[in-house]
Structure 1
Amino acid sequence: MAERQLIQQVLMNGRICTLVIEEGRITEIGTADLLPEPGDSVWNANGLLLLPAFRDAHVHLDKAFPTDRWISRKPVSSIFEQFKLEKELLAGCKDRRKELAIQTLEAMLASGTVEARVHVDIDPDLGLSHLELMLQLKEQYASRMAIELVAFPQQGLLRSHSTPYIREALRMGADLVGGVDPAGVDRNVERSLATMFELAAEFDKRIDLHLHDPGHLGVYTIEKMLDYTAEASMQGKVTVSHAYGLGEVDPSVVAELGSRMAAAELDLTTSVPFDTAMPPVPLLAKQGVKISLATDHTGLDAWTPYGNPDILRRGRLLAEKYIWNDDLRMSSVFEWMSRGSLELQAGDAADFILVEALNVPHALATMAQRQLVCKAGVPVAGSLLQENGRRAAWMNIPKGERMADDYND
């Protein structure tokens, strides 16, 4: 019989409880006085608050700059100049790409992220070198973080003639077909989207499109995406990232489009940008659109010097943007940066974070330190793990020993 793990004195859903974990899943959420059985591994959380582990829905691991030196940027006047600048600046970091990606992954883990969708640059110049590295890291980190890879033609699927490279990337194991601005970059909405959906159908993959195009051009692109989604019967398998244009049109247009997006189960991912328009999240959520939060930029890179790997920071930025001061709306943010609701249930994967906070809104307001980050019931990061020498936090308690109930409510 597999060993049970008991975490006592966990603050969850407004009460103190005992978490029972077996084979990587939560099998019981018991009362505070639930006693361990012989052979149980027991650890006392001393009232730490449990949160669901975080999911970063859109991140680039192959774009980070070194943190030990400053790489100067210059103003650009178009996205094409930005593409060129990025290639120039990243060329000097080529030999450190793996090191920098690992630094980013460790920072994400420390902040509570145990699942990430990683967009990987692919084009004729780079070939598949970035994907090869990310496939290695995906395997290396499999026990600590679930990573899915998007074959992303940053320079434009059509514009950079990257279709054969994306096809090969999918053969190699990329999980999703990526794309960017079918109008603004590829200059052919129909052909760009058709190519993406054909690749997805050929390899039975999902789709995630970067969409920066403004206003009604962005709306039109999403409408066409919905048409293709219906024709390909790919409901629930398509994501639109960024979609800045939805923040530049009349709310009535967004509401109507949001209803179609919800019906098609189209996922909208936003990194809560501060320097451009962003989709009206409250309105879209009201229409039933699935919302996912992302960091996009995790540190210094060619696009911004203000990136940060902490997805909780993005959640707080969202709450600040909409002036959400009440408990209900502050708490709702967590649903968009995790796989499920705040209330973990028996049968759920034991992916969670323990923080020192009075309740969920307090954790958001204070950016509570992540004391312990667990994936499938195993600690993978957090300040307590560092103190305990990277061991399972409750393994420092002899098996079967009962901890004193020293938590005072």
Structure 2
Amino acid sequence: MSTSFPAITAVRNVRPWGGEASDILIDGSEITQVVPATDAPIVETEVDGRGLLAIPGLVNTHAHVDKSWWGHPWQSYGGEGGTDGRIRHERARRDELGIPSVEITSAVLAEFVKTGTTEIRTHVDVDLGLGLRGIEAVREAVAAYDGALACEIIAFPQDGVLRRPGVLALLEDAAKAGVEHLGGLDPAGIDRDPVGQIDAILGLAAEYGTGVDIHLHDGGSLGAFQFDLIIDRTRTLGLQGKVNIAHGFAIVDQTPQRRAELLAQMAELDMTMTTVAPVRMTQFGLHEFDDAGVRFGFGTDGIRDLWSPYGTGDLMGIAWQYARGSGIVRDEDLLRVVQLATSAAAPFAGVAQNDLAAGSRADVVLIDAENPMDALVRTLPRERVIGGGKLLFTR
């Protein structure tokens, strides 16, 4: 399956980051120049920006594109609560809904694209019932965009690692097949063996040169202990710059001194975090993380899946949720939140540079807004979306 998107050579008369009217010139998938806007006639391969705000493509750093029920009739919430209960419910119903499949993933990607996401890091379930079939489906759905979407995959053992004999071998198979990251889930809460799971996953990553991206929901001192273990193994195995902790709810439970100690160690090892900005929890401290030098990104998590009916796929909505939940109101902080949702998050998707500047990947989102702060607080519709130099969406 492939989709044809027109190649773009320029995005004319836009205001990058709310600045002066400019033309963004593109060669293939790269921005070559940003120059003052001209009044030359707009040709077929150029986009008329109509003076709109331009920001870089949004980066979804924590997605589950393999397992939504988007496109199906409404699915009522069922099963038991809690992580284990949701896992059991999903396993019972996923075959009935055709999860995973190229069609399901394609529907999710289409929602991402129309809201401006052009770069993605996604978890994809790997377990004894699926094998690597979900990874294959996601790769096929992404390939249909012919390079217009940047996407890295995490082989995600949703049902546990050590408690399901054979899953560790599947993760090794995924690493051999070229998956970019290996995942994990609550080493203590799910596998009941934090040392065992962390040693196993990070050991495989060190052996095969992959990244690591571990879901960690456990809070309090138990969660902090697992932070300690992951930090220690990252240092011992030489995985600097390759380890991410997703959710990491325990980080906000700690005393300021304990949190500062954890963040300092993570910064030393260039460890990162991702958050879905949960509405009922304390958010990561914007200045605290920036001052410590710990990068974090935003993600949509699952959208309309068997875990929850919520979610639209709009990463800007998650950034808004984070900003509102953090009480962020000053311009410089609102701008920083937009940067975290765009340019600053590029490495999470394996992109070297995602900005409105020469040398950047040609990912451009146009919004009818005064400036990035206005676009964030009003979560305005995306008017045009360009990914990898191709026009992906027009409102």
> What is the TM-score when the length of structure 2 is the normalising length?
0.89
- Which residues of 2 match residues 249-268 of structure 1 at below 5 A? 249-268=254-273
Aligned residue in 1 for 2:274:
269
> In the TM superposition, what is the alpha-carbon distance from 1:278 to its structure 2 partner?
4.7
> Which residue of the partner structure matches residue 332 of structure 2?
328
Does structure 1 residue 106 correspond to structure 2 residue 110? yes
Q: Which amino acid aligns with 1:198?
A: G
Q: Is residue 244–residue 279 contact of structure 1 (8 Å, CA) maintained in 2?
A: no
Following the alignment from structure 2 to structure 1, what is the Cα–Cα distance between the partners of residues 28 and 145? 19
Residue identity opposite 2:49 in structure 1: A
Deviation at 1:319?
1.0
Distance (Å, rounded) in 1 between the aligned partners of 2:282 and 2:90? 22
The reply on whether 1:155 has 2:159 as its aligned counterpart is: yes
Asked whether 1:347 is paired with 2:351, we answer no
Residue 64 of structure 1 pairs with residue 97 of structure 2: no
Contact 2:182–2:212 at 8 Å: present in 1 too?
yes
Letter in 2 for 1:138: V
CA 1:362–1:82: 2 relative to 1, 3 Å: same
In 2 relative to 1, CA 40–309 (structure 1 residues): closer, same or farther, beyond 3 Å?
A: closer
- 2:342 is the alignment partner of 1:316: no
Task: State the secondary structure of the residue aligned to 1:143.
Answer: coil
Match of 1:89 in 2: 93
Cα distance in 1 for partners of 2:95, 2:27 equals 47
Partner of residue 129 from structure 2, selected from 125, 130, 139 = 125
Work out the CA distance in 2 between the residues paired with 1:372 and 1:189.
45
- Residues 173-207 of structure 1: per-residue CA shift (max 9 Å, x gap): 32111111111111111111111112112211110
Partner of 1:27: 32
Structure ID, larger Rg: 1
Determine the structure 1 residue equivalent to 2:305: 301
| Structure 2 equivalent of residue 207 of structure 1 | 212
Q: How many residues align?
A: 379
Q: Which moved more, 1:340-349 or 1:149-158?
A: 340-349
| Counterpart Cα distance in 1 of 2:242 and 2:168 | 20
Instruction: Give 2:53's match in structure 1, choosing from 49, 54, 74.
Output: 49
Q: CA deviation at 1:132?
A: 2.2
Worse overlay, 205-214 or 324-333: 324-333
Asked if structure 2 preserves the Cα contact closer than 8 Å seen for 1:244 and 1:278, the reply is: no
Secondary structure of the structure 1 residue equivalent to 2:50: coil
Q: Quick check: 1:146 aligned with 2:150?
A: yes
How much has 1:277 moved relative to structure 2?
A: 4.9
Find 1:360's aligned residue among 339, 364, 372. 372
The one-letter code sitting in structure 1 at the alignment partner of 2:172 is R
What CA distance in whole angstroms lies between the structure 2 residues aligned with 1:40 and 1:134? Answer: 32
> What do residues 370-393 of structure 1 show as CA deviations (whole Å, max 9, x unaligned)?
11111222211231xxxxxxxxxx
Inter-CA distance 317–369: structure 2 relative to 1 (3 Å threshold): same
* One-letter amino acid of the structure 1 residue matched with residue 130 of structure 2: L
Question: Does the aligned pair in 1 maintain the 2:68–2:99 contact within 8 Å?
Answer: no
Contact 1:293 1:337 in 2 (8 A): yes
Match of 2:242 among 237, 244, 247: 237
Q: Which moved more, 1:124-133 or 1:200-209?
A: 124-133
| Structure 1 counterpart SS, 2:80 | coil
Could you tell me how far apart the structure 1 residues matched to 2:70 and 2:223 are?
A: 34
| CA–CA distance in structure 1, aligned partners of residues 365 and 193 of structure 2 | 44
| Amino acid in the other structure paired with 1:122 | V
Cα 1:270/1:140, change in 2 over 3 Å: same
Contact persistence 1:246–1:278 (CA under 8 A): no
Q: Which amino acid aligns with 1:322?
A: S
By how many angstroms is 1:243 displaced? Answer: 0.4
TM-score where L is the length of structure 1: 0.86
Within 1, Cα distance between the matches of 2:133 and 2:20? Answer: 50
Percent identity over the alignment? 28
Cα deviation for residue 311 of structure 1 reads 0.2
CA distance 1:277–1:63, shift in 2 (3 Å): farther
Amino acid at match of 1:294: G
Cα offsets for 1:316-355 (capped at 9, x unmatched): 1111111212211111112222244996222222111111
> Distance in 2 between the 1:251 and 1:179 partners?
27
Amino acid at match of 2:127: D
Cα RMSD (Å) of the superposition? 2.3
Relative to structure 1, the CA distance from residue 95 to residue 6 in structure 2 (aligned partners, 3 Å threshold; closer, same or farther) is closer
2: CA distance between counterparts of 1:317 and 1:4?
33
1:192 pairs with 2:204: no
- Measured in 2, the distance between the counterparts of 1:369 and 1:188 equals 45
**What do residues 22-63 of structure 1 show as CA deviations (whole Å, max 9, x unaligned)?**
2322222112348689x9954431201110101101111222
SS at structure 2 position matched to 1:151 = strand
Unaligned runs of 5+ in 2: 1-6, 346-353
Q: Would the aligned equivalents of 2:71 and 2:107 in 1 still touch at CA under 8 Å?
A: no
Check conservation: 2:70, 2:108, Cα contact below 8 A. Answer: no
Q: For the Cα contact (< 8 Å) 2:319–2:337, is it kept in 1?
A: yes
1:8 equivalenced with 2:8 (yes/no)? no
- Residue in structure 2 matched with residue 181 of structure 1 by the alignment: 186
Q: 1:232 to 1:43 in 2, by over 3 A?
A: same
Q: What letter is aligned with 2:194? A: V
Letter in 2 for 1:173: G
SS of the residue 2:183 aligns to: strand
Extract unaligned runs of 5+ from structure 1. Answer: 384-409
Distance verdict in 2 for CA 1:131–1:68, change over 3 Å: closer
- In structure 2, the CA distance between the partners of 1:65 and 1:311, relative to structure 1 (3 Å rule), is same
1:66 CA drift (Å): 4.4
Aligned mates of 1:114, 1:4 — CA distance in 2? 15
